[in-house]
Amino acid sequence: MKTRDQERAAFVLSEIEKTYPDGIPKEHANYFAGLPTMIFENGLGQTMVFLLSKSGGTQSRDNNKYSFSYRLLRKYLFSNLSSNEQSRSPNDIETLKSLIDKPIQEYFEAQRKAIAVATWLKRYAKALVRSDDNPSNSNKVEES
């Protein structure tokens, strides 16, 4: 049996392994370090809209620090849906509407979870940062 925090840590590491197999670029790691604070100070809804806008909008799925952050938070927040709701993945508009329409207690709970996930991203980013000048000398994510 795992704690929720262990599950979050495993989830974030798994997503990092898929997107950054050679380590996290320093620029991305520096950005990820501020993500928990951004969510806390601006709120989850505003942070998600900001990340979506900086990632290139609903049509772009470039692999940049903003789109990775948005996808990570969205995937985690919507991974605990009922099996009926999981049958279709919400699009970006549905994701944002879902956050806006939540009762205040549920919204704050989602925000708390997002901060916890972003904190794990921050920790891993510091540990797995690579030098953009010398990617071969990076802290690669090891296969287990």
pLDDT at 62 (0 to 100) = 57
17-43 pLDDT, tens per residue?
Answer: 999 999 999 999 999 999 999 999 999
Local structure of 129: helix, strand or coil: strand
- Enclosing H/E stretch for 103: none
Q: Indicate the pTM of the whole model.
A: 0.81
pLDDT at 129 (0 to 100) = 94
Cα distances from 82 to residues 7, 88, 96, 139, in angstroms, run 18, 11, 18, 37
pLDDT for 139 beyond 70 = no
Report the Cα–Cα distance between both ends of the chain, in Å, rounded: 19
Interhelix angle 65-77/44-54, rounded to 10 degrees, is 140
For the chain, domain boundaries: 4-129
pLDDT at 54 (0 to 100) = 92
125 half-sphere exposure, CB direction, 13 A CA radius:
21
52-111 pLDDT, tens per residue?
Answer: 999 875 554 556 899 999 999 999 998 864 444 444 456 888 888 888 899 999 999 999
Residue with tokens 């806006």: 100
* Domain topology for 4-129: Peroxidase; domain 1 (1.10.520)
